[in-house]
Every structure is written in structure tokens, then in C-alpha cells.
Amino acid sequence: MTSVTHSSTDPRTVQLTEDGKLRHFLTIGGLNKAILEEILDTADSFVNMGEQSVKKVPLLRGKTVVNLFFENSTRTRSTFELAAKRLSADVLNLDISKSATAKGETLKDTLQNLEAMGSDMFVIRHADSGAQHFIASQVTPNVAIINAGDGRHAHPTQAMLDMYTIRKHKGDFSKLKVAIVGDILHSRVARSQVQALNMLGAQEVRLIGPKTLLPATFAEMGAKLYTRMEDGLKDVDVVIMLRLQKERMDGALLPSEGEFYRLYGLTTEKLNYARPDAIVMHPGPINRGVEIESAVADGPQSLILNQVSYGIAIRMAVMSMAISGQTQQKVQQQLSAQQSEDDNEEASA
């Protein structure tokens, strides 16, 4: 067994090269404002590229990107696939049922086989929090890993496309109050959003929901917690609604869809608590009449469709940055290996 030292799994370093460049994109935590801004700026270039008649660039030509979805999500997978193809990468889609890879050993075998076939990047969605972290730190550290959602932990590309949407439509984060509403407890999107908003210097991050879906520990992530929409939405510039999973309705978390919608559903009336120019976002897919009213989802303040189009640009940005970082790291490792070989030769000569 290769020894598992603390540093190899340190969340602050595993995503970055020795010179602080992105080589895996696993979570917002442990990154810094400069890297987040670089992602947003790079995505800007790709959004602008959308004006061109040729939407494809050869940045990742000859690279192989494997979409590994251990949880089904055609939507998210499609945006990653499109992003990879616009960068001219070869794309392989693998849907792997969880049962086939229940044991860690099988997962390791599968991934190391894919690495041996010359994969340069894995885009991974997995039901276990930390799965991508485990893969990046212990299974295939030389393949760039992009987290497309892990358990309840993180969905960093979704958070970054939301940050892009906010910056594009609202500008300077330091003047913004942002509220995230709904099932915070189970939401990887919310966790990544809170971290990204704080890192980018948002004036205030608020979380709104009933206490069953909003544990007090979220305060320590840098958010103010509210249980009433009336208080939480007051004067906010951005309202982000989260999707409420239907299967959560039956448990002891919520009494009924109806009561949830009455208390936390975003209606035109409740949106009035926010600033008049507030924007409304949702990571999709929307449950109309459960977390948001159709009139709001399709209304003038909604940016839900814009988010989707920015999603491709954000994923292109993150993919090209990670491949670049990973390649630089490899070149550096080869150089230093060469160097030590030379030193040894000199020493033995």
C-alpha cells in the first residue's frame, strides 16, 4: 500500500498544482478569489465566442474526456459533453450503475483502466460525498478530475455558473445580498454557492428554509439563517431557489408539498419582499408550483434560461484550465525526475 499521508488528501492542496494552478476541480473550498475570477473571466471569453459562427476551438484536440456518471443526469452530462466537444476533445460517456462499483476496489479498477487507455480528464458525478476527492487523491491523481456533483458535498461548476450569472447581471459582489431558499440540508449546490459567494466577497449570504432542511451548522459556513421568507428576502438582490426532491416529501422532513409551497414557494407576492430589481435563479429542473410559481419562473426577473447557456461556457473554462494545470504539473514532475536522474548520474560518475 502506498502510504496515505495527510498532505495527499489535504483539501487545500489536492486541487492545485505546486504553483497554485487548478488541476482538479473538486470543490470551491480551498480555492481562492483569484482562481474563481479566472474561471469567470475565461468563461466570459467562451460566452463571447458564442457570437462566432464557428463555436468550436481546438484547445483540447487530442485529449480524451470521460464522463463518468454514477448517478443519472442527462442534463448535466449533456452540458459537459457539449463543452468538451466545443473544445475539440474526444468524449466518452459512461453510465455506471452504483451496484457494479459498490466496492472501492472495483471503482479503482474501472478508473485505472480508463486512465491506462489514455484518458486526460474524468468528469464525475457520484452519490457519495467526497468520491471525486478520493479518486483525485488516491486513485488517478494524474487525470484531471472535474466534480459534476458528489453526494451532498459540492457541485462547483453549477455554483460557478450561478456566480457568472450574478456577476453578469448584477456586477460587484461586495454590494450584493443573496438568498438561497429551500432544501439546504441535502443540497450540494447550496454548499458550493455559499462558499463561492463568500470567497468572491458577497455582502451577505442568506439561507432560508424550515429547520428540518436548514441545520444551524450552516451558520459556520458563513451564512445568515432565516426561517421566514418575509425576513430572509428583505432587500436581497439575488434569490436562488433550490429544487425540492419529491422523495423528501414523504419523510419526516416536511408535512406536505402544499405547506412547503405556501411557506417557501417563490410567488410574485413573496418576491416583492426582495429589491425591485432582484434577479431570480434556479439550478433546474424546476418543480413549478412546488418551489416556484410559473409566473415568477417565466417572469422578467428570472434568469433561469440564461443560467443554462452560461453553464456550457463555465464548463469549457474549468475543463481547459484543469487540463492546462494538469499538463504543467506533469511536465514539472518529468523535469524534476529528469533532474534527479541527472544528479544521480553525476553523483555516480
Cα–Cα distance measured from residue 332 to residue 73, given in angstroms and rounded to the nearest whole number? 36
User: Applying CB under 8 A, which part among 171-179, 204-212, 215-223, 243-251 lies near other proteins?
Assistant: 215-223
Those residues whose C-beta lies under 8 Å from the C-beta of residue 233, and which sit 6 or more positions away, are 179, 181, 208, 239, 270, 271, 273, 274
* Residue 347: CB minimum distance to other proteins, A: 26
User: Is residue 103 marked as binding?
Assistant: yes
- Between 126 and 270, whose beta carbon lies closer to other proteins? 126
Provide the 3-class DSSP secondary structure of residue 184: coil
Contacting residue, 24, 77, 126, 315, with other proteins by CB under 8 A: 126
User: Applying CB under 8 A, which part among 71-79, 144-152, 165-173, 241-249 lies near other proteins?
Assistant: 144-152
Alpha helix stretches (DSSP H) within the chain = 33-49, 74-86, 104-116, 131-134, 156-170, 188-199, 229-232, 257-264, 268-271, 294-297, 304-348
User: Applying CB under 8 A, which part among 132-140, 205-213, 242-250, 277-285 lies near other proteins?
Assistant: 132-140
Please give the radius of gyration of the chain, using alpha carbons only, rounded to the nearest integer.
21
* Residue 135: CB minimum distance to other proteins, A: 8
Helices 156-170/33-49 angle, 10° precision? 70
The site map against other proteins for 242-281 (x = CB under 8 A) is: ----------------------------------------
Contacting residue, 74, 174, 217, 348, with other proteins by CB under 8 A: 217
Of 228, 227, 229, nearest to 270 by C-alpha is 229
Site for other proteins in 153-182 (CB under 8 A): 153-154
Cα–Cα distance measured from residue 44 to residue 165, given in angstroms and rounded to the nearest whole number? 11
Footprint of other proteins on this chain (CB under 8 A)? 1, 3-6, 9-11, 14, 21, 29, 38, 41-42, 44-45, 48-49, 51-54, 56-59, 102-105, 107-108, 126, 128-131, 133-134, 137-139, 150-154, 188, 191, 215, 217-218, 220-221, 320-321, 323-325, 327-328, 331
